[in-house]
Amino acid sequence: MGRSYFVEEAVGQYLSELSTRSKPFITGLLVGQCSPQRDYVVLAIQTPPKEEESKSNQSYYADLSNIDEEWTIAHANQVSRMLPGGFLVLGVFIVAAPELAKEIQSTLRKLVFSIEKSLARKRLWTFSEEDVSERVALHLCSTTKKILCRTYDVQDPKSSAKPADWKYQNGLSASWLSLECIINANIHIPLSSTLASHDLEKNTRNGLTRWAKQIEEAIFLINGQVKEEDADLLEGQKKSTRGNMQSPTQTLDVRVLMQLSRNTNSRSTATVQICSGSINLKGALKCKAYIHNNKPKVKDAVKALKRDIINTLSDRCEILFEDLLINETLGKKNSEREYHTLPCRVFAPIAGSSVLLCDYKFGDETTREIQERFLEMLDQAVQAEDLHPAEEINTVEINSPKELQDDVQQKRLTKEMLLLKLHQNIGVVIAVAVAISAAAFSFNYFSD
Protein backbone atom coordinates (compact mmCIF):
# COMPACT_ATOMS: atom_id res chain seq x y z
CA MET A 1 0.00 0.00 0.00
CA GLY A 2 1.36 3.41 -0.96
CA ARG A 3 1.70 6.50 1.19
CA SER A 4 -1.14 8.95 1.74
CA TYR A 5 -0.67 12.69 1.26
CA PHE A 6 -3.14 14.94 3.06
CA VAL A 7 -3.09 18.24 1.23
CA GLU A 8 -4.30 21.69 2.19
CA GLU A 9 -7.12 22.72 -0.15
CA ALA A 10 -5.32 25.97 -0.94
CA VAL A 11 -2.59 23.86 -2.57
CA GLY A 12 -5.18 22.37 -4.91
CA GLN A 13 -6.44 25.84 -5.82
CA TYR A 14 -2.87 26.99 -6.47
CA LEU A 15 -2.13 24.04 -8.78
CA SER A 16 -5.43 24.54 -10.55
CA GLU A 17 -4.56 28.19 -11.22
CA LEU A 18 -1.17 27.18 -12.63
CA SER A 19 -2.89 24.75 -15.00
CA THR A 20 -4.78 27.63 -16.66
CA ARG A 21 -1.61 29.40 -17.76
CA SER A 22 -0.63 29.20 -21.40
CA LYS A 23 2.58 27.23 -20.92
CA PRO A 24 3.33 23.65 -21.96
CA PHE A 25 4.64 22.92 -18.44
CA ILE A 26 5.36 24.46 -15.04
CA THR A 27 7.53 22.83 -12.38
CA GLY A 28 7.68 23.48 -8.66
CA LEU A 29 8.23 22.21 -5.13
CA LEU A 30 5.92 20.64 -2.56
CA VAL A 31 6.47 21.56 1.09
CA GLY A 32 5.10 19.80 4.15
CA GLN A 33 5.81 17.25 6.85
CA CYS A 34 6.48 13.52 6.88
CA SER A 35 5.25 11.13 9.55
CA PRO A 36 5.34 7.32 9.74
CA GLN A 37 1.63 7.02 8.94
CA ARG A 38 0.95 9.87 6.53
CA ASP A 39 2.43 13.01 4.99
CA TYR A 40 1.01 16.54 5.00
CA VAL A 41 1.39 19.08 2.19
CA VAL A 42 0.87 22.72 3.14
CA LEU A 43 2.48 24.58 0.25
CA ALA A 44 3.16 24.29 -3.48
CA ILE A 45 5.67 26.72 -5.01
CA GLN A 46 6.37 27.14 -8.69
CA THR A 47 9.99 27.36 -9.81
CA PRO A 48 10.87 31.04 -10.38
CA PRO A 49 11.55 31.76 -14.06
CA LYS A 50 15.05 32.76 -15.04
CA GLU A 51 15.40 36.15 -16.67
CA GLU A 52 16.05 34.70 -20.11
CA GLU A 53 12.96 32.46 -19.76
CA SER A 54 10.77 35.45 -18.97
CA LYS A 55 11.88 37.16 -22.17
CA SER A 56 11.71 34.09 -24.40
CA ASN A 57 8.79 32.89 -26.45
CA GLN A 58 6.60 29.85 -25.86
CA SER A 59 8.90 27.51 -27.78
CA TYR A 60 11.38 27.66 -24.90
CA TYR A 61 8.96 25.74 -22.69
CA ALA A 62 7.83 23.19 -25.26
CA ASP A 63 10.49 20.61 -24.36
CA LEU A 64 11.12 19.15 -20.88
CA SER A 65 14.82 18.99 -21.70
CA ASN A 66 14.84 22.78 -21.22
CA ILE A 67 14.29 22.34 -17.48
CA ASP A 68 17.35 23.76 -15.76
CA GLU A 69 18.14 21.17 -13.09
CA GLU A 70 20.70 23.32 -11.28
CA TRP A 71 18.24 26.22 -11.13
CA THR A 72 15.55 23.95 -9.64
CA ILE A 73 18.02 22.56 -7.09
CA ALA A 74 19.12 26.09 -6.15
CA HIS A 75 15.48 27.06 -5.59
CA ALA A 76 14.96 23.99 -3.38
CA ASN A 77 18.01 24.91 -1.30
CA GLN A 78 16.72 28.43 -0.83
CA VAL A 79 13.21 27.28 0.09
CA SER A 80 14.67 24.78 2.55
CA ARG A 81 16.35 27.66 4.38
CA MET A 82 13.00 29.37 4.80
CA LEU A 83 11.28 26.43 6.48
CA PRO A 84 10.99 26.08 10.26
CA GLY A 85 11.66 22.77 11.96
CA GLY A 86 9.33 19.94 11.04
CA PHE A 87 8.79 21.12 7.47
CA LEU A 88 10.83 20.07 4.47
CA VAL A 89 10.79 19.90 0.70
CA LEU A 90 8.65 16.79 0.20
CA GLY A 91 9.13 16.54 -3.54
CA VAL A 92 8.31 18.14 -6.86
CA PHE A 93 5.33 18.70 -9.11
CA ILE A 94 4.81 19.42 -12.76
CA VAL A 95 1.75 20.86 -14.46
CA ALA A 96 2.00 19.84 -18.09
CA ALA A 97 0.15 19.41 -21.34
CA PRO A 98 -0.84 15.80 -22.19
CA GLU A 99 1.55 15.55 -25.14
CA LEU A 100 4.49 15.66 -22.70
CA ALA A 101 3.19 12.76 -20.57
CA LYS A 102 5.79 10.21 -21.78
CA GLU A 103 8.72 12.28 -20.55
CA ILE A 104 7.27 13.49 -17.29
CA GLN A 105 7.92 10.59 -14.90
CA SER A 106 11.61 10.28 -15.79
CA THR A 107 11.98 14.04 -15.43
CA LEU A 108 10.26 14.08 -12.04
CA ARG A 109 12.32 11.15 -10.78
CA LYS A 110 15.57 12.87 -11.75
CA LEU A 111 14.54 16.10 -9.99
CA VAL A 112 13.44 14.27 -6.83
CA PHE A 113 16.78 12.51 -6.43
CA SER A 114 18.89 15.53 -7.42
CA ILE A 115 17.13 17.83 -4.96
CA GLU A 116 17.38 15.37 -2.09
CA LYS A 117 21.07 14.79 -2.78
CA SER A 118 21.77 18.52 -2.67
CA LEU A 119 19.76 19.07 0.51
CA ALA A 120 21.37 16.08 2.25
CA ARG A 121 24.84 17.43 1.48
CA LYS A 122 24.13 20.55 3.55
CA ARG A 123 22.69 18.84 6.62
CA LEU A 124 24.60 18.76 9.89
CA TRP A 125 22.26 16.17 11.36
CA THR A 126 22.06 12.49 10.54
CA PHE A 127 19.19 10.92 8.63
CA SER A 128 17.82 8.28 11.03
CA GLU A 129 16.12 4.95 10.40
CA GLU A 130 12.85 6.44 11.65
CA ASP A 131 12.92 9.23 9.07
CA VAL A 132 10.63 8.80 6.08
CA SER A 133 12.79 8.45 2.98
CA GLU A 134 10.05 8.55 0.35
CA ARG A 135 9.59 11.75 -1.66
CA VAL A 136 6.65 12.65 -3.85
CA ALA A 137 6.48 13.29 -7.60
CA LEU A 138 3.17 14.83 -8.68
CA HIS A 139 1.90 15.26 -12.23
CA LEU A 140 -1.16 17.40 -12.96
CA CYS A 141 -2.44 17.31 -16.53
CA SER A 142 -3.30 20.85 -17.55
CA THR A 143 -6.03 19.64 -19.92
CA THR A 144 -7.83 16.83 -18.06
CA LYS A 145 -6.89 18.06 -14.54
CA LYS A 146 -6.08 14.46 -13.67
CA ILE A 147 -3.51 13.96 -10.92
CA LEU A 148 -0.89 11.20 -10.87
CA CYS A 149 0.90 10.92 -7.53
CA ARG A 150 3.91 8.64 -7.04
CA THR A 151 6.77 8.32 -4.57
CA TYR A 152 10.43 7.35 -4.72
CA ASP A 153 12.67 6.10 -1.93
CA VAL A 154 15.54 8.58 -2.06
CA GLN A 155 17.73 6.28 0.07
CA ASP A 156 17.60 3.71 -2.73
CA PRO A 157 19.16 4.91 -6.02
CA LYS A 158 17.39 2.09 -7.87
CA SER A 159 14.00 2.90 -6.39
CA SER A 160 11.06 2.58 -8.74
CA ALA A 161 7.86 4.60 -8.56
CA LYS A 162 5.18 3.61 -6.06
CA PRO A 163 1.55 4.80 -6.24
CA ALA A 164 0.38 7.22 -3.54
CA ASP A 165 -2.92 8.81 -2.54
CA TRP A 166 -3.42 12.57 -2.89
CA LYS A 167 -6.27 13.77 -0.65
CA TYR A 168 -7.36 17.36 -0.15
CA GLN A 169 -8.31 18.43 3.37
CA ASN A 170 -9.76 21.76 4.44
CA GLY A 171 -8.10 23.54 7.38
CA LEU A 172 -4.98 21.41 7.35
CA SER A 173 -2.70 24.43 7.81
CA ALA A 174 -4.38 25.21 11.14
CA SER A 175 -3.80 21.71 12.55
CA TRP A 176 -0.35 22.29 13.98
CA LEU A 177 1.40 22.51 17.32
CA SER A 178 4.27 24.95 17.60
CA LEU A 179 7.42 24.56 19.69
CA GLU A 180 9.63 27.57 20.37
CA CYS A 181 12.90 28.21 22.14
CA ILE A 182 15.73 30.70 22.29
CA ILE A 183 19.14 29.13 22.50
CA ASN A 184 22.33 31.00 23.38
CA ALA A 185 25.22 29.95 21.18
CA ASN A 186 28.87 30.54 22.05
CA ILE A 187 30.86 28.31 19.75
CA HIS A 188 34.65 28.34 19.60
CA ILE A 189 36.18 26.47 16.66
CA PRO A 190 39.99 26.14 16.75
CA LEU A 191 41.81 25.88 13.44
CA SER A 192 45.07 24.02 13.05
CA SER A 193 48.28 25.92 12.34
CA THR A 194 48.88 23.52 9.44
CA LEU A 195 45.51 24.33 7.92
CA ALA A 196 45.50 25.01 4.19
CA SER A 197 43.10 27.57 2.80
CA HIS A 198 41.11 24.96 0.88
CA ASP A 199 40.40 23.11 4.18
CA LEU A 200 38.69 26.06 5.86
CA GLU A 201 35.15 25.11 4.92
CA LYS A 202 35.69 21.53 6.02
CA ASN A 203 37.09 22.55 9.41
CA THR A 204 34.33 25.07 10.04
CA ARG A 205 31.72 22.49 9.17
CA ASN A 206 33.41 20.00 11.49
CA GLY A 207 33.19 22.55 14.30
CA LEU A 208 29.50 23.14 13.71
CA THR A 209 28.96 19.38 13.47
CA ARG A 210 30.47 18.91 16.94
CA TRP A 211 28.12 21.60 18.26
CA ALA A 212 25.21 19.93 16.47
CA LYS A 213 26.01 16.69 18.30
CA GLN A 214 25.71 18.57 21.61
CA ILE A 215 22.27 19.77 20.54
CA GLU A 216 21.29 16.20 19.63
CA GLU A 217 22.34 14.96 23.08
CA ALA A 218 20.89 17.86 25.12
CA ILE A 219 17.91 17.65 27.45
CA PHE A 220 14.75 19.41 26.22
CA LEU A 221 12.24 20.70 28.75
CA ILE A 222 8.74 21.11 27.30
CA ASN A 223 6.72 23.62 29.32
CA GLY A 224 9.23 23.05 32.12
CA GLN A 225 8.95 19.26 32.10
CA VAL A 226 11.13 16.38 30.95
CA LYS A 227 8.95 13.92 29.06
CA GLU A 228 9.57 10.39 27.89
CA GLU A 229 10.37 10.19 24.18
CA ASP A 230 7.45 7.87 23.36
CA ALA A 231 4.95 9.85 25.43
CA ASP A 232 2.07 11.80 23.92
CA LEU A 233 3.23 15.39 23.45
CA LEU A 234 -0.14 16.72 24.65
CA GLU A 235 -0.48 14.41 27.62
CA GLY A 236 -2.04 16.37 30.47
CA GLN A 237 -2.91 19.30 28.18
CA LYS A 238 -5.79 17.94 26.08
CA LYS A 239 -8.60 19.51 28.05
CA SER A 240 -7.19 23.01 27.85
CA THR A 241 -6.41 22.56 24.15
CA ARG A 242 -9.97 21.56 23.32
CA GLY A 243 -11.36 24.52 25.15
CA ASN A 244 -9.11 27.02 23.43
CA MET A 245 -10.93 27.52 20.16
CA GLN A 246 -9.51 31.00 19.61
CA SER A 247 -5.95 29.75 19.14
CA PRO A 248 -5.75 26.98 16.50
CA THR A 249 -1.98 26.74 16.89
CA GLN A 250 -0.93 25.89 20.42
CA THR A 251 2.61 26.97 21.27
CA LEU A 252 4.78 24.94 23.63
CA ASP A 253 7.72 26.63 25.35
CA VAL A 254 10.97 24.66 25.27
CA ARG A 255 14.21 25.06 27.19
CA VAL A 256 17.44 23.40 26.08
CA LEU A 257 19.92 22.19 28.72
CA MET A 258 23.20 21.79 26.85
CA GLN A 259 25.23 20.60 29.86
CA LEU A 260 23.07 17.52 30.31
CA SER A 261 22.88 14.56 28.00
CA ARG A 262 20.64 11.53 27.72
CA ASN A 263 23.65 9.53 26.53
CA THR A 264 25.08 8.10 29.75
CA ASN A 265 27.86 6.28 27.88
CA SER A 266 29.39 9.47 26.48
CA ARG A 267 32.71 10.57 27.96
CA SER A 268 34.40 13.94 27.81
CA THR A 269 37.86 13.98 26.28
CA ALA A 270 40.47 16.70 25.93
CA THR A 271 42.89 17.21 23.07
CA VAL A 272 45.88 19.48 22.55
CA GLN A 273 46.10 21.19 19.18
CA ILE A 274 48.50 23.84 17.87
CA CYS A 275 46.34 26.54 16.29
CA SER A 276 46.96 29.66 14.25
CA GLY A 277 43.39 30.86 14.28
CA SER A 278 39.85 30.19 15.42
CA ILE A 279 36.22 31.05 14.82
CA ASN A 280 33.85 32.41 17.46
CA LEU A 281 30.10 32.39 16.88
CA LYS A 282 28.06 34.16 19.52
CA GLY A 283 24.41 35.09 19.82
CA ALA A 284 20.83 34.13 20.64
CA LEU A 285 18.93 32.02 18.13
CA LYS A 286 15.13 32.14 17.87
CA CYS A 287 14.05 28.63 16.92
CA LYS A 288 10.65 27.29 15.93
CA ALA A 289 9.25 23.93 14.87
CA TYR A 290 5.83 22.57 13.97
CA ILE A 291 4.29 19.15 14.33
CA HIS A 292 0.86 18.02 13.18
CA ASN A 293 -1.58 17.54 16.06
CA ASN A 294 -2.59 14.02 14.99
CA LYS A 295 -1.32 12.06 18.03
CA PRO A 296 2.10 13.76 18.16
CA LYS A 297 4.93 12.06 20.06
CA VAL A 298 7.48 13.87 22.20
CA LYS A 299 10.42 12.39 20.25
CA ASP A 300 9.09 13.66 16.92
CA ALA A 301 8.46 17.17 18.23
CA VAL A 302 11.90 17.38 19.88
CA LYS A 303 13.58 16.07 16.72
CA ALA A 304 11.91 18.77 14.65
CA LEU A 305 13.09 21.50 17.02
CA LYS A 306 16.62 20.09 17.24
CA ARG A 307 16.93 20.22 13.48
CA ASP A 308 15.65 23.77 13.35
CA ILE A 309 18.28 24.83 15.90
CA ILE A 310 21.05 23.20 13.89
CA ASN A 311 19.78 24.37 10.51
CA THR A 312 19.24 28.01 11.45
CA LEU A 313 22.82 28.56 12.65
CA SER A 314 24.29 26.70 9.70
CA ASP A 315 22.10 28.68 7.28
CA ARG A 316 22.98 32.03 8.87
CA CYS A 317 26.70 31.32 8.53
CA GLU A 318 26.28 30.26 4.93
CA ILE A 319 24.25 33.36 4.09
CA LEU A 320 26.86 35.61 5.72
CA PHE A 321 29.70 34.09 3.74
CA GLU A 322 27.72 34.31 0.51
CA ASP A 323 27.08 37.99 1.21
CA LEU A 324 30.77 38.63 1.85
CA LEU A 325 31.68 36.87 -1.38
CA ILE A 326 29.05 38.65 -3.45
CA ASN A 327 30.16 42.03 -2.17
CA GLU A 328 33.85 41.09 -2.49
CA THR A 329 34.65 42.12 1.08
CA LEU A 330 36.73 39.07 1.96
CA GLY A 331 40.16 40.04 3.19
CA LYS A 332 39.73 43.76 2.51
CA LYS A 333 40.15 44.86 6.11
CA ASN A 334 43.67 45.53 7.31
CA SER A 335 42.97 44.36 10.85
CA GLU A 336 43.53 40.69 11.63
CA ARG A 337 40.44 40.72 13.85
CA GLU A 338 37.04 41.38 12.33
CA TYR A 339 33.46 41.27 13.58
CA HIS A 340 30.40 40.51 11.48
CA THR A 341 26.73 40.29 12.38
CA LEU A 342 24.87 37.19 11.31
CA PRO A 343 21.53 37.84 9.60
CA CYS A 344 18.44 38.04 11.82
CA ARG A 345 15.55 35.64 11.37
CA VAL A 346 12.26 37.10 10.18
CA PHE A 347 8.99 35.14 10.38
CA ALA A 348 5.88 35.58 8.25
CA PRO A 349 2.64 33.57 7.91
CA ILE A 350 1.55 31.49 4.96
CA ALA A 351 -1.56 33.01 3.42
CA GLY A 352 -4.64 31.69 5.24
CA SER A 353 -2.59 29.79 7.79
CA SER A 354 -1.15 30.20 11.27
CA VAL A 355 2.09 28.49 10.19
CA LEU A 356 5.08 30.84 9.99
CA LEU A 357 7.88 30.53 7.46
CA CYS A 358 11.07 32.58 7.67
CA ASP A 359 13.78 34.51 5.90
CA TYR A 360 17.04 36.08 7.05
CA LYS A 361 17.67 39.82 7.10
CA PHE A 362 20.87 41.81 7.37
CA GLY A 363 20.70 45.11 9.22
CA ASP A 364 20.92 47.22 6.06
CA GLU A 365 18.18 45.32 4.21
CA THR A 366 14.75 46.89 3.89
CA THR A 367 11.37 45.37 4.61
CA ARG A 368 10.61 45.66 0.92
CA GLU A 369 13.55 43.42 0.04
CA ILE A 370 12.30 40.74 2.43
CA GLN A 371 8.82 40.96 0.90
CA GLU A 372 10.29 40.56 -2.58
CA ARG A 373 12.20 37.44 -1.50
CA PHE A 374 9.08 35.86 -0.01
CA LEU A 375 7.28 36.53 -3.28
CA GLU A 376 10.05 35.21 -5.50
CA MET A 377 11.16 32.21 -3.44
CA LEU A 378 7.80 31.09 -2.03
CA ASP A 379 5.34 32.79 -4.40
CA GLN A 380 3.76 34.31 -1.27
CA ALA A 381 2.77 37.96 -0.99
CA VAL A 382 3.55 39.10 2.56
CA GLN A 383 2.36 42.37 4.08
CA ALA A 384 4.93 44.49 5.90
CA GLU A 385 2.92 44.35 9.13
CA ASP A 386 2.98 40.53 9.00
CA LEU A 387 6.77 40.33 9.18
CA HIS A 388 7.97 39.42 12.66
CA PRO A 389 11.71 39.91 13.20
CA ALA A 390 13.27 37.88 15.98
CA GLU A 391 15.17 40.01 18.49
CA GLU A 392 18.63 38.58 18.01
CA ILE A 393 22.20 39.81 18.06
CA ASN A 394 24.53 37.25 16.56
CA THR A 395 28.15 37.86 15.69
CA VAL A 396 31.09 36.20 14.02
CA GLU A 397 34.46 37.29 15.41
CA ILE A 398 37.32 36.92 12.95
CA ASN A 399 41.08 36.96 13.19
CA SER A 400 42.94 35.56 10.18
CA PRO A 401 46.58 34.58 9.86
CA LYS A 402 48.28 36.97 7.42
CA GLU A 403 49.07 34.30 4.82
CA LEU A 404 45.42 33.23 4.65
CA GLN A 405 44.23 36.82 4.37
CA ASP A 406 46.50 37.28 1.36
CA ASP A 407 45.16 34.07 -0.18
CA VAL A 408 41.56 35.16 0.31
CA GLN A 409 42.21 38.52 -1.33
CA GLN A 410 43.10 36.73 -4.56
CA LYS A 411 39.73 34.96 -4.79
CA ARG A 412 37.01 36.61 -6.86
CA LEU A 413 33.57 35.61 -7.98
CA THR A 414 33.07 35.44 -11.73
CA LYS A 415 29.94 36.29 -13.65
CA GLU A 416 29.41 32.60 -14.35
CA MET A 417 29.52 31.79 -10.63
CA LEU A 418 26.60 34.13 -10.02
CA LEU A 419 24.48 32.76 -12.85
CA LEU A 420 21.98 31.14 -10.48
CA LYS A 421 21.67 34.15 -8.20
CA LEU A 422 18.08 35.35 -7.67
CA HIS A 423 18.20 38.76 -6.03
CA GLN A 424 20.25 38.35 -2.84
CA ASN A 425 20.90 34.66 -2.31
CA ILE A 426 19.31 32.02 -4.53
CA GLY A 427 21.62 29.75 -6.35
CA VAL A 428 24.81 30.98 -4.75
CA VAL A 429 25.02 27.71 -2.85
CA ILE A 430 25.36 25.93 -6.17
CA ALA A 431 27.16 28.59 -8.16
CA VAL A 432 29.87 29.43 -5.66
CA ALA A 433 30.24 26.08 -3.93
CA VAL A 434 33.92 25.96 -4.77
CA ALA A 435 34.49 29.58 -3.84
CA ILE A 436 32.73 29.19 -0.51
CA SER A 437 34.64 26.10 0.49
CA ALA A 438 37.91 27.75 -0.44
CA ALA A 439 37.36 31.27 0.79
CA ALA A 440 34.28 32.05 2.79
CA PHE A 441 35.15 30.35 6.02
CA SER A 442 38.71 31.62 5.98
CA PHE A 443 37.20 34.86 7.10
CA ASN A 444 36.57 33.53 10.61
CA TYR A 445 39.92 33.47 12.33
CA PHE A 446 41.87 34.48 15.40
CA SER A 447 45.62 34.32 15.01
CA ASP A 448 48.11 33.98 17.79
* pLDDT, tens digit (0-9, with 9 covering 90-100), for 163-209: 999 999 988 878 899 999 999 888 888 877 665 544 666 777 888 99
The pLDDT score that the predictor gives to residue 51 is 73
The set of long-range contacts for 364-372, using a CB threshold of 8 Å and a minimum separation of 24, is 365/424, 369/423, 369/424, 370/346, 372/423
Between residues 160 and 397, the one the model is more confident about: 160
Closest CA to 348 of 316, 314, 385: 385
User: What residues have CB less than 8 Å from 238, skipping those under 6 apart?
Assistant: none
pLDDT-based confidence at residue 211 (cuts at 50, 70, 90): very high
Best-predicted range by mean pLDDT among 246-260, 342-356, 422-436? 342-356
Q: Please spell the DSSP secondary structure of 383-432, one letter per residue.
A: -GGG-EE-----EEEEE--HHHHHHHHT----TGGGTT-BTTTBTHHHHT
pLDDT-based confidence at residue 447 (cuts at 50, 70, 90): very low
- Averaged over 336-348, what is the pLDDT? 83
* pLDDT, tens digit (0-9, with 9 covering 90-100), for 262-279: 565 556 666 777 777 788
Would you say residue 363 has pLDDT above 70?
A: yes
The pLDDT score that the predictor gives to residue 1 is 62
As beta bridge partners, residue 281 has 187, 396
- Averaged over 86-90, what is the pLDDT? 97
To 5 degrees, how large is the angle CA 45–CA 48–CA 52?
Answer: 160
- In the chain, what is the straight-line distance between the N-terminal and C-terminal CA atoms, in Å? 62
Would you say residue 139 has pLDDT above 60?
A: yes
Would you say residue 253 has pLDDT above 90?
A: yes
Closest CA to 136 of 118, 149, 117: 149
Would you say residue 28 has pLDDT above 70?
A: yes
Helix then strand then coil, % of the chain, to nearest 5: 35, 30, 35
The pLDDT score that the predictor gives to residue 188 is 87
Q: Please spell the DSSP secondary structure of 218-229, one letter per residue.
A: SEEEETTB---T
pLDDT-based confidence at residue 134 (cuts at 50, 70, 90): very high
* pLDDT, tens digit (0-9, with 9 covering 90-100), for 308-329: 999 999 999 888 888 877 776 5
How buried is residue 446: exposed, middle or buried, by Cβ count under 10 Å (0-12/13-18/19+)? Answer: buried
The Cα–Cα gap between 28 and 44 comes to 7
User: What residues have CB less than 8 Å from 116, skipping those under 6 apart?
Assistant: 135, 154
The pLDDT score that the predictor gives to residue 266 is 57
138-152, 235-249, 415-429: least confident range: 415-429
The pLDDT score that the predictor gives to residue 437 is 28
The pLDDT score that the predictor gives to residue 335 is 54
Best-predicted range by mean pLDDT among 35-39, 247-251, 391-395? 35-39
Would you say residue 396 has pLDDT above 80?
A: no
To 5 degrees, how large is the angle CA 291–CA 361–CA 68?
Answer: 75
- Averaged over 99-118, what is the pLDDT? 93
Would you say residue 282 has pLDDT above 90?
A: no
